[in-house]
Amino acid sequence: MRIAVVGTGVIGTSWARLFAEHGHDVVATDPAPGAAERLRAELGDAVAFVDDPATAVADADFVQENGPERLEVKHMLLATLDAASRPEVVIASSSSMLRPTDLARGVPGHPERVLVGHPFNPPHLVPLVEVVPGEATSEAAVAAAMAFYTSVGRSPLRLRAELPGHLANRLQAALWREAYSLVERGVATVGDVDTAITEGPGLRWAGVGPIAGQHLSGGAGGLAHVLEHLHPGTEALWADLGSPTMTPELADRLVAQVTEAVTDPDDLLARRDAVIRAVLSARREH
C-alpha cells in the first residue's frame, strides 16, 4: 500500500517510521522549513518526501493527517487532501482534541471518509489508536481504518461517541488534574507524583488496566466486593480531589520542578522507549 503522511512533526515522523517498518510505500509532506532534512536524518531513505500535499495523496491508499491542532488550518488542509485523493481513500486525522464531525465540515466533497485516528506518542511503539467516526463517517471508512491499523500492529479502539480528547486523553487529564493540584498544594513534588505512578499503579495498569485491576483486588468477590466495601471511601476521596487553576505561578512551579527532575531529556526519552518495548515484549510472552 501507499501511505501518505501529511505533517512530519514528532507524531507524523513516528507514524512514517511505523508504516515503513511494515513494508508500505510511504510518501510524506510538510511545509515547515527544513522538514525534508529532519525526516531524512531521522528515517534515512525509508520514506519519500514531496513538497506538495496534493501530490503526496494523489496515489495514496490511506492518508494520515498530522497538521496543527487548529480547526481553520485543518479545514484548509483537509479540503486539499479531499480534492486530490481518490474518493474511497480514508483520511484519518491524528487530532487529539478536535471532533471528526467538525473536521469533516472542511471536506465538502467526501466527508464520509473523514475520521479521527488518534495515536499515542510514539505511534511506532505505543499500540493504541483511537478511531473516532463523525456524524458523516461511513461504516466502510471505519472498517477500513480499523483493518489498516490492525495490519500495522496497532490496537485500534473504536469510540462510540465524539468527546473532546476522545477517551485516553480524558483519563490522562483526570490524573493530571489531581497531580497538578497536589503539587500546587505542596503535598508532593513533580518527582513524587511520577514515582507514585511508575512504582505503583502504573505497573498494574500496564498489565490489566485500572478497572480490571480493581476486579482482581477484590479477591473472590471481584469488583462487586470492592464497590460494596470501598465505595463510601471512594466517594469521599472524589469529593476531596483538587480543581487547580493553571495560574502562571503553578505553571512556573511545574516547569521548574520537572526541569530539575529531568536533567537529561535524551536519556529519559531513550529509557522511556526501552521500557515500552520491554513491557510490550513481556505482555506478548504472557
User: 204: domain CATH number?
Assistant: 1.10.1040.10
| Residue 218 lies inside a defined structural domain of this protein | yes
Give the domain range for residue 20. 2-158
176 and 133 in a single domain? The answer is: no
- What are the pLDDT digits (tens) for 9-31? 999 999 999 999 999 999 999 99
CA–CA separation, 50 and 87 (whole Å): 21
Q: Is residue 96 part of a domain?
A: yes
Predicted local distance difference test score (pLDDT) of residue 91: 98
Of the three residues 158, 179, 200, the one that is the final residue of a domain is 158
CATH number, domain of 145, equals 3.40.50.720
pLDDT band for 231, please (50, 70, 90 cuts): confident
Question: What is the band of 183 on the pLDDT scale with cuts at 50, 70, 90?
Answer: very high
pLDDT band at 230 (very low <50, low <70, confident <90, very high): confident
- Residue 163 lies inside a defined structural domain of this protein: no
**pTM metric for this prediction:** 0.92
Q: Please indicate, yes or no, whether residues 94 and 185 belong to a single structural domain of this protein.
A: no
Number of domains, the chain: 2
Is the predicted pLDDT of residue 172 greater than 90, yes or no? yes
Confidence of residue 74 (pLDDT cuts 50, 70, 90): very high
Asked whether residue 184 is assigned to any structural domain, the reply reads yes
* pLDDT for the residue 43: 96
Whether residues 192 and 215 share a domain: the answer is yes
* Residue 151 shares a structural domain with residue 18: yes
235 and 197 inside one domain: yes
Are 122 and 13 in a shared domain? yes
Strand pairing class (114-119; 128-133): antiparallel
Same domain, residue pair 81 and 194: no
Mean pLDDT score of the chain, rounded to an integer?
96
Same-domain status, 67 and 123: yes
Question: Which pLDDT does position 150 carry in this prediction?
Answer: 98
The last residue of one of the domains, among 131, 158, 185, is 158
CA distance 240 to 219: 27
Indicate if 16 and 136 belong to the same structural domain: yes
Greatest alpha-carbon span in the chain: 61
- Print the SS3 string covering the chain: CEEEEECCCHHHHHHHHHHHHCCCEEEEECCCCCHHHHHHHHHCCCCEECCCHHHHHCCCCEEEECCCCCHHHHHHHHHHHHHHCCCCCCEEECCCCCCHHHHHCCCCCCHHHEEEEEECCCCCCCCEEEEEECCCCCHHHHHHHHHHHHHCCCEEEECCCCCCCCCHHHHHHHHHHHHHHHHHCCCCCHHHHHHHHHCCHHHHHHHHCHHHHHHHHCHHHHHHHHHHHHHHHHHHHHHHCCCCCCCHHHHHHHHHHHHHHCCCHHHHHHHHHHHHHHHHHHHHHC
> What is the C-alpha separation between 232 and 127, in angstroms, rounded?
36
Q: Tell me, yes or no, whether 92 and 180 share the same domain.
A: no
φ and ψ at residue 86, rounded to 5 degrees? -65, 140
| Predicted local distance difference test score (pLDDT) of residue 95 | 96
Q: What is the pLDDT of residue 229?
A: 87
What pLDDT does 195 receive?
97
Q: Are residues 199 and 217 in the same domain?
A: yes
Residue 198 shares a structural domain with residue 263:
yes
